[in-house]
Amino acid sequence: MYAISLGDDGAELRPLEPWHAEELFAHIDRARDFIGRYVALASVITDVDAARTFLQSYADRRAADSGSLHGLWLDGKLVGGLLFRVFDATAGNCEAGCWLEPSASGRGLVTRGMRPLLEWAFDERGIHRVEWIASTENEPSVNVARRLGMTREGVLREHYLYRGERQDMEVWSLLAPEWRAARAE
């Protein structure tokens, strides 16, 4: 499989597969409170079996061409992930997302990792529109959308019930012509 270097700081983007279950569980467990502030993944991956089930669900999505999961490694240690939560090549639409542990935040890993995934989605798969949906309170995720050149389309007020509270969710998007124009500059 692939390993894409994300710079000279030891950061890599690689597929995240079912055989990474123990590593994924250890990663989530290290950062459960931090990741769980905005991402339900911390509540889903409660043990190695749950990690394996989650990873297998994305392996099945990849096989069905309806989603994919990618890990962010820093100096050989899994520190986060990127995903196409929804991927519909026929309609030309997908939704991307991420999570990251605190030891890796502030380095631009998510932005650097999303760029080759966006290039693949737009150029290889013919995706026309990529969406990014984040809690209005999740500033790091909103900042990634900005750095990727996405446009804020609006706020879905009290859209997502998480931990007993309704969250406002920002919707950002990037269109293939915008991506290509930005790359040409």
Place of tokens 């994924």: 24
Q: Residue 39 — pLDDT band, cuts 50, 70, 90?
A: confident
Closest CA to 27 of 51, 5, 2, 57: 51
Give buried/exposed letters for 11-50 (b at 16+ CB in 10 A, else e).
bbbbebbbebbebbbebbebbeebbbebbebbeebeeeeb
CA distance 99 to 79: 9
User: Residue 51 sits in which domain range?
Assistant: 4-184
Q: What is the pLDDT of residue 92?
A: 97
Write the pLDDT tens digit of every residue in 143-155: 999 999 999 999 9
Q: What is the pLDDT of residue 164?
A: 83
Write the pLDDT tens digit of every residue in 56-109: 999 999 999 999 999 999 999 999 999 999 999 999 999 999 999 999 999 999
pTM: predicted TM-score of the whole model, two decimal places: 0.93
Report the CATH number that the domain containing residue 89 is assigned in CATH.
Answer: 3.40.630.30
Q: Residue 126 — pLDDT band, cuts 50, 70, 90?
A: very high
**Contact by Cβ (8 Å): 173, 130:** yes
Closest CA to 46 of 18, 26, 20: 26
With 70 as the cut, is the pLDDT of residue 1 above it?
no
Count: domains in the chain: 1
**Contact by Cβ (8 Å): 32, 135:** no
Mean pLDDT for all residues in the chain? 94
- Calculate the dihedral angle through the C-alpha atoms of 123, 125, 128, 131, rounding to the nearest 10 degrees: -100
CA distance 25 to 32: 10
Q: Residue 8 — pLDDT band, cuts 50, 70, 90?
A: confident
Write the pLDDT tens digit of every residue in 163-182: 888 999 999 999 999 999 98
With 90 as the cut, is the pLDDT of residue 161 above it?
no
| Coil, strand or helix at 79 | strand
